[in-house]
Amino acid sequence: MPRDPRSPSSEHPFLIDVRDARAALPQGLAPMRPRQAAWAFNSSEYLFELKWDGLRALASRDDGVVRVHDRNGGDLLPLLPELAKLPVPEGAVLDGEIVVCDSRGRPSYDLLAGRLGPKAAKRGFGPTFVAFDLLYVDHRPLLARPLDERRRRLADLELRGRTIGVPGHLDCDGEPFLDVVAEYGLEGIVAKRRASPYVAGARTSDWLKCHVTPRADVVLGGLEEVETSGTLRALCGQYADDEQHSLVMVGEAYVPSYLSRWLDDATRTFASDVSPFATPLPLRSGTRWLRPKLVAIVEHAGEVGVLRDARFMALRLDGRLSDCRIEEPVEIESEPPSPDSDRPRLVLLQSLRLDQG
């Protein structure tokens, strides 16, 4: 039988199996991102993790140098110098999220934003790098490996400490897990297909996010001061899935009074004379248009493409305009839950005790 020329052999020592070849760590790797699920679900094909209310980041160590960058490639160590000594193994790349927790151990985006703001208010506990995926180990890529294997190899690294931790995950039971997460006042959960590879920079249905209260990333297109009440409303847009990628106004979000002056001041340099939205809108008294450069997080009543009962939460620190899209949620048929009713709560509590592994 003739020898397969693709197989390494002593006769052809220059041929190697490139699937496990050592590789230089990439510098421009972008995180894989979840799509929106239509509802929470149970499925034996998925595992379920807590959705962390923090800043997505990749951490690596190459030739002894630790790097931590956000999903846009920005260096986070000047802003969070506490993470310069992260115990990342040599030749590894970790995907995760940077969080700051409140006194009850719950991650808080507001507390994290305070750390990164101009006054650097160091309130809360952290920062902590929550590692939930392993992309490279010993300088070898794991991107094509299934999630189950990547998670298992991540657990084998036994990463524990003041600045790093690996959260638990729940098999199959997304619905009861989201119920428990809601009890603790947390953001939501993420469902990940167990057999899925890691597709850097992609937003795919292999990962699905389920919020306790629906959230959306929107483009901040303007502010409107309501003279009768003195309140501020944010005019929110998302990009349509058309040839022009038009910025469509999807609604108004109430701005809490304690954020009104801050948001008004923070957006002054983005003022514009014209509306950024594709469709004509009436210029009402108290309206100030903004250049479409800022991404905001809003909570809303849950409809696609329409913001009802919306509330401004924060400006997204690493916001990308391309993420502000009108997108139909992914529907997954739900299986019956497992009989172990205590398991979701145990996984949640273990996840929040990161320093204890």
Residue 175 backbone zone (phi > 0: left; psi -120 to 50: alpha; other: beta)? alpha
With beta carbons less than 8 A apart as the criterion, state whether 28 and 57 touch.
no
- Does residue 21 sit within a domain? no
| Phi then psi dihedrals of residue 258, to 5 deg | -75, -10
- Does residue 161 sit within a domain? yes
The pair of three-digit structure tokens given for residue 31, joined into one six-digit string:
């995180």
pLDDT tens digits along 131-189: 999 999 999 999 999 999 999 999 999 998 899 999 999 999 999 999 999 999 999 99
225, amino acid identity:
E
pLDDT tens digits along 222-268: 999 887 767 799 999 999 987 778 999 999 999 999 999 999 999 99
Q: Answer yes or no: do 157 and 305 share one domain.
A: no
Q: Where does the pLDDT of residue 219 fall: very low under 50, low under 70, confident under 90, or very high at 90 and above?
A: very high
* pLDDT of 288: 93
| Domain finish residue from 159, 190, 212 | 212
User: β-strands 65-70, 55-62: how paired?
Assistant: antiparallel
- Model pTM score: 0.88
Give the residue numbers marked as catalytic. Answer: 51
Q: How many C-beta neighbours within 10 Å does residue 229 have? A: 9
Average pLDDT, the chain: 89
User: Residue 55's beta-bridge partner residues?
Assistant: 98
Q: Answer yes or no: do 225 and 302 share one domain.
A: yes
Radius of gyration of the chain from its Cα atoms, rounded to whole angstroms? 22
The pair of three-digit structure tokens given for residue 134, joined into one six-digit string:
């392993």
- Per the structure, the count of domains in the chain is 2
User: Residue 248's beta-bridge partner residues?
Assistant: 238
DSSP labels, 33-92: EEEEBSS--EEEEEEEEEE-SSEEEEEEEETTEEEEEETTS-B-TTT-GGGGG--PPTT-
Q: Answer yes or no: do 98 and 219 share one domain.
A: no
Q: Answer yes or no: do 202 and 282 share one domain.
A: no
pLDDT tens digits along 260-304: 999 999 999 999 999 999 988 877 888 999 999 999 999 999 888
pLDDT tens digits along 24-57: 788 889 999 999 999 999 999 999 999 999 999 9
Of residues 304 and 217, more confidently modeled:
217
Domain span including residue 247: 215-323
* pLDDT of 22: 58
* pLDDT of 120: 61
Q: Answer yes or no: do 206 and 259 share one domain.
A: no
Q: Answer yes or no: do 263 and 309 share one domain.
A: yes
Distance CA 42, CA 171 (A): 9
Tokens 């000047």 found at = 78
